Amino acid sequence: MRTKIKEILNRQDTDYQVNVKGWVRSFRNNQFIALNDGSCMANIQVVIELGTDEHVVRKITNGASISVDGTVIASQGKGQRVEIKAAQITILGECDTDKFPLQLKNRPSLEYLREIAHLRFRTNTFGAVFRVRHTLAYAIHKFFNDRGFVYLHTPIVTASDAEGAGEMFRVTTLPFDNPPRKEDGSINFEEDFFARSTNLTVSGQLEAELGAMAFSEVYTFGPTFRAENSNTARHLAEFWMIEPEVAFNDITDNMDLAEEFIRYIIGYAVEHNREDLEFLTQRLADEEKQKPMNERSEMGLMEKLEFVLNNKFERITYTEAIDILLNSPAYKKKKFQYEVKWGIDLQSEHERYLVEKHFKKPVIVIDYPKDIKAFYMRMNDDDKTVAAMDILAPGIGEIVGGSQREERLEKLEKRMAEMHVPAEELSWYLDTRRFGTVPHAGFGLGFERLVLFVTGMTNIRDVIPFPRTPGKADF
């Protein structure tokens, strides 16, 4: 019966028999094995007896997997509370140290580790990142479940391309070299698997709205796909998104939900992954030391998370945001590259100024001009703005995008016509407005951006196990 290393390190007593299995992180002095099984950041020290079979000892190398039977005892040395006095060591899998790229004393770069993503889980950094990622995913389900939300599985293959959230990946079984064609020469998708053109989903929102019109509160949490040629540290072609949708909620309820949600899951991670987050805090601090003074962030990672937990998000309207920017020293000194005036979409530099310089905390911006937002967002009484909301986070930018949805059929149809959204393809969506429509609101949160924020990592490719980006789909 195997015991997890985390369990042994958490127990207060000693002098009991255990079996542990894991991977060797280091082997010192022909005597001390640092063993890790991924259950926690810390290794356990295994002490081997004099006279252990030399054939076995020679195979205890960095990266090798072993099984150890022995006794947990109070450590005879400094540096750890307990250790395992080994009675029997079995080599499960040898590791050719000459070829194994991970060594404790090497400092491989994150970029290099990305090329060996199948092995990077065995490093402290990625062990911590993906344990935190797991905890966040669990906390998300727990948050919604505790509040009576139904987890709705929206389709991954979709015929809907009406939302316009981005370029889509086509799904087809038609032959590439000689697809069936119509008389006008266009490809005849009626002969395709689904008898129509289909794509990978860019968002589950429209389908989530259908569920909210019956269950009152639903959420989706699944993969989404965007075929944009985006090469940045904040974009992936395949990423996971959380999209709650709540009937009877207005934009203020929506903000309250989003804020409570973010605070809850961060708090859950801080509570359950403290060791990992403290390691990541130190890692980030070490990385920051490489930067010039003026580029360093004012807060450490743990400090930042505590700050978010203890401070309300700032809430402003788009119009107020524009005023702040127009009156900012940065604007007066012509520091902004892009023009600032009412009606523009806020650029990265504007969002960064508001979040990182002006408010120095997460900011919720609402009531955007209708022309820069999607057709389904609810028109405000001024007829110029819509009840949209974006949550902007320091270092990440937009982490949440949401809105109160337009529940009035005539207004929705009018907006769809203005924005050239094909109403006939979305008749199922419009049915919700025909049959017992209610005010409702929801938002989308990019899971990897949340993981970035919580782990203090800076590249989104380092917080998803196997990143898919333009030109890259390894593993």
Residue closer to RNA by CB (options 214, 473) is: 473
Q: Does 405 bind RNA (CB under 7 A)?
A: no
Q: Does 253 bind RNA (CB under 7 A)?
A: no
Cβ at position 127, least distance to RNA in Å: 15
In whole angstroms, give the CA distance from residue 179 to residue 188.
8
Give phi and psi for 367, each to the nearest 5: 60, 65
Asked whether 220 and 243 are in contact (CB, 8 A), the reply is: yes
**Which residues are 68's β-sheet partners?**
20, 89
* The only residue of 38, 166, 222, 369 in contact with RNA, by rule CB under 7 A: 166
Cβ at position 42, least distance to RNA in Å: 10
369's tokens: 């001009």
Q: Which residues 294-333 are close enough to bind RNA by CB under 7 A?
A: none
Quote the strand ranges of 354-470, DSSP E. 363-369, 385-393, 397-404, 440-446
Asked whether 14 and 1 are in contact (CB, 8 A), the reply is: no
Q: Identify residue 355 by its one-letter amino acid code.
A: V
In whole angstroms, give the CA distance from residue 127 to residue 41.
7
Q: Provide the 8-state DSSP code for 2.
A: B
Contacting residues for 59 by C-beta, under 8 A, at least 6 apart? 91, 94
Cβ at position 259, least distance to RNA in Å: 15
**Which residues are 398's β-sheet partners?**
392
Residue closer to RNA by CB (options 212, 262) is: 262
Q: Which residues 104-133 are close enough to bind RNA by CB under 7 A?
A: 104-109, 111-112, 114
Cβ at position 434, least distance to RNA in Å: 26
Q: Provide the 8-state DSSP code for 22.
A: E
* The only residue of 65, 67, 71, 75 in contact with RNA, by rule CB under 7 A: 75
- Closest of 457, 408, 414, 459 to residue 437, by C-alpha: 408
* The only residue of 4, 19, 47, 71 in contact with RNA, by rule CB under 7 A: 47
Q: Does 222 bind RNA (CB under 7 A)?
A: no
Residue whose structure tokens are 């040395």: 77
Residue closer to RNA by CB (options 237, 316) is: 237
Cβ at position 163, least distance to RNA in Å: 8
212's tokens: 């909210």
Q: Does 137 bind RNA (CB under 7 A)?
A: no
Q: Does 286 bind RNA (CB under 7 A)?
A: no
389's tokens: 């909301």
3-state secondary structure 298-324: CCCHHHHHHHHHHCCCEEEEHHHHHHH
Q: Does 419 bind RNA (CB under 7 A)?
A: no
* The only residue of 31, 71, 125, 317 in contact with RNA, by rule CB under 7 A: 31
In whole angstroms, give the CA distance from residue 84 to residue 138.
32
Asked whether 86 and 99 are in contact (CB, 8 A), the reply is: no
Q: Which stretch binds RNA (CB under 7 A): 137-145, 153-161, 228-236, 250-258?
A: 228-236
Cβ at position 117, least distance to RNA in Å: 12
* The only residue of 20, 35, 257, 399 in contact with RNA, by rule CB under 7 A: 399
Q: Which stretch binds RNA (CB under 7 A): 22-30, 179-187, 256-264, 313-321?
A: 22-30
**Which residues are 71's β-sheet partners?**
17, 85
Q: Give the x/- contact pattern for RNA in 266-285, rule: CB under 7 A.
A: --------------------
Is the four-CA dihedral 403, 404, 409, 410 of positive or negative sign?
Answer: negative
Asked whether 421 and 162 are in contact (CB, 8 A), the reply is: yes
Q: Which residues 79-108 are close enough to bind RNA by CB under 7 A?
A: 79-80, 83, 97-98, 101, 103-108
Q: Which stretch binds RNA (CB under 7 A): 138-146, 182-190, 254-262, 440-448?
A: 440-448
Q: Which residues 341-360 are close enough to bind RNA by CB under 7 A?
A: 345, 347-349, 352
Q: Which stretch binds RNA (CB under 7 A): 25-33, 148-156, 176-184, 215-223?
A: 25-33
> Three-state SS for 122?
helix
Q: How many residues bind RNA (CB under 7 A)?
A: 74
Q: Give the x/- contact pattern for RNA in 176-215, rule: CB under 7 A.
A: ---------------------------x------------
Cβ at position 449, least distance to RNA in Å: 5
**Which residues are 401's β-sheet partners?**
390, 444
6: number of CA atoms within 13 Å, CB side? 10
Residue closer to RNA by CB (options 162, 174) is: 162
Residue closer to RNA by CB (options 109, 186) is: 109
* The only residue of 91, 412, 445, 454 in contact with RNA, by rule CB under 7 A: 445
Q: Does 78 bind RNA (CB under 7 A)?
A: yes
* The only residue of 4, 6, 21, 26 in contact with RNA, by rule CB under 7 A: 26
In whole angstroms, give the CA distance from residue 418 to residue 249.
26
In angstroms, how far is the first alpha carbon of the chain from the final one? 33
Asked whether 443 and 217 are in contact (CB, 8 A), the reply is: no
Q: Does 68 bind RNA (CB under 7 A)?
A: no
